[in-house]
Amino acid sequence: MEIIDYINSGETFLGIELGSTRIKAVLTKPDGTPIAGGGHSWENSQVDGIWTYPLEEVIEGIQACYTDLKNTIRKEYGLNLKRFRAGGISAMMHGYIAFDADGKLLVPFRTWRNNITAEASAALSELFNYPIPQRWSIAHLYQAILNGEAHTTEISSITTLAGWMHRKLTGTNVLGIGDASGMFPIDTNTANYNSSMLKAFDEKVSEKGFGWKLAELFPEVLPAGVSGGILTAEGALLLDPSGDLESGITFCPPEGDAGTGMVATNSVRQRTGNVSAGTSVFAMIVLERELSKTHEEIDLITTPDGSLVGMAHSNNCSTEYSAWIELFGEAAKALGADIDPANLYDSMMKLALTGDSDCGGLLAYGYHSGEHMTGFTEGRPLLVRRPGDSFTPANIIRAQLFTSLCALRTGLDILTGQENVTVDEIKGHGGFFKTPGVGERIMAAALNTPISVLSTAGEGGAWGIALLAGFIERENKSLSLPDYLDGIFAAGAGRTATPDRSDVEGFQKFFERYHEGLAIERAAVENLK
């Protein structure tokens, strides 16, 4: 009855996140407890060498996700969702969405998965003396300028996927500071785009004669805890084509999946960290100070309330080991076995724990796309072995799990080794941790640090943005985001894996083999067109 009252009175909070393979919605009670969810699966496509999602599919997907949420509420509570107190939109960070003055999309959405801006990334990192990853919006813009793309003269605005969807719903062109920090460097003292770097960029491209200044192209930056706009009548009808949803609802500033991952794991306080592992994998540590120098392997972004974060990001994680699990399932099916997909997944993941500590000598690369951490713009999934290696199903899956974390480990070694960054705890979330006892144990071996997985971690970024929506409506407006989240997570028990010595030693052997064998991966890219 309590939940029914919350829904009927519009005292719930909605979060929607557009992830790489799934769009997910979560509706929560005022205390942050999830009460219903919805989802929609989708996949990116490669068009003319560019990883993209057509914006029409974005709208169709978010509508399908919201409809699924409504159907869940109708089925479980017998109610028709018409209103919620506040909402928020999150999406995969980085990338490039550019429009002209009439709102026309100038080129297909270029996602974070495109490693096509190496020249721009290097040039801007040198210009700013600040790491500019290939995924960032500014790298895509400058690469387009270097390529002489005609559309650069017509640009009126640039935003992220979350920013675009938020603008469609509210009519406001804003971004949460965390998502904005994936477009252009943020000055944490002013909580805005770095003004000296904006000026440096404008001077760099002045000879091109563009009719715009860079700051004019970007959305306004907002911190967590303030309104990002109000759901318009047009926005309500876009989200819910049935017409049931009322307009006039407050939306928090749109955020990226990095920021919502921090929130969903209560990792926004300094010296805390989290690792998000799914299609891609990235670890983020909230820093106590600026790094001593620029490292191209490390992104510098912010928490949703503006603290500096060091991020190590790898483009490839679960895609290849999932493919191997499906392959074993197909083999079992051919032999007459009828295995439930969820049981197959859990069984194969657990099997990896029975393999040799170093995977029996096997070597694997799960590069479905490029991997900037190791210098690849393209990838070729590989499994390599020597005649005497232990070629078993357990070692194959273990090798796939190990290799999915090697690029991540390469980046984190820079933070912990070269920069002496200290982290008190790392919390995990994402599909990598779906099978209890496996993902956290493998991750603990890779990072040689305890890994905690909260009981709520499965709710993911959609829950994180719902919590940010709730943060707007907090009773005590002086309450900081870390303190607010401590209250939400007070009873958030979960599970923790401490590093097993044998696993750690086995991963280290595999990790060294991984780096020694990168020439094999490079030969595959060069010779397997």
Average pLDDT across the chain, whole number: 95
Q: Which amino acid is at 297?
A: E
Task: Quote the pLDDT of residue 492.
Answer: 63
- At 462, list the tokens: 């959609």
Among 513, 489, 292, residue whose Cα is nearest residue 385: 513
Q: Look at the pTM and tell me if it is higher than 0.85.
A: no
- State how far the Cα of 304 lies from the Cα of 26, in Å rounded to an integer: 19
Q: Which residues pair with 286 in a beta bridge?
A: 309
If you average pLDDT over residues 460-487, what whole number do you get? 94
Per-residue H/E/C for 46-68: EECCEEECCHHHHHHHHHHHHHH
CA–chain centroid gap for 176, Å, is 15
Sign of the CA dihedral with 316 first, then 382, 47, and 241 last: negative
pLDDT in tens, 43-74: 999 999 899 999 999 999 999 999 999 999 99
Task: Quote the pLDDT of residue 278.
Answer: 86
Q: Which CATH architecture has domain 265-316+408-497?
A: 2-Layer Sandwich (3.30)
Task: Quote the pLDDT of residue 388.
Answer: 97
**Pairing of the two strands 86-91 and 255-256:** parallel
Least confident of 83-87, 133-137, 392-396: 133-137
**Pairing of the two strands 13-18 and 86-91:** parallel
Contact status, residue 472 vs residue 227, Cβ threshold 8 Å = yes
- State how far the Cα of 351 lies from the Cα of 295, in Å rounded to an integer: 37
Contact status, residue 172 vs residue 147, Cβ threshold 8 Å = no
- At 224, list the tokens: 């967590």
Name the residue with tokens 């200044």.
213
Residues of the chain with CATH 3.30.420.40: 265-316+408-497
Is pLDDT of 457 > 70? no
Is pLDDT of 430 > 90? no
Contacts of 63 (CB under 8 A, 6+ apart): 238, 239, 240, 241
* Phi, then psi, of 225 in degrees rounded to 5: 100, -5
pLDDT in tens, 22-51: 999 999 999 999 999 999 999 999 999 899
- State how far the Cα of 386 lies from the Cα of 360, in Å rounded to an integer: 10
Is pLDDT of 467 > 90? yes
- At 55, list the tokens: 């914006």
- Confidence tier at 279 by pLDDT (50, 70, 90): confident
Contact status, residue 87 vs residue 16, Cβ threshold 8 Å = yes
Contact status, residue 25 vs residue 68, Cβ threshold 8 Å = yes
Task: Quote the pLDDT of residue 425.
Answer: 78
Strands (E), 13-167: 13-18, 22-28, 34-41, 45-47, 50-52, 86-91, 97-99, 157-159
If you average pLDDT over residues 461-485, what whole number do you get? 95
Q: Which helix (H) or strand (E) holds 527?
A: helix 518-527
Per-residue H/E/C for 343-358: HHHHHHHHHHCCCCCC
HSE-up of residue 429 (Cα within 13 Å, Cβ side)? 27
If you average pLDDT over residues 451-475, what whole number do you get? 88
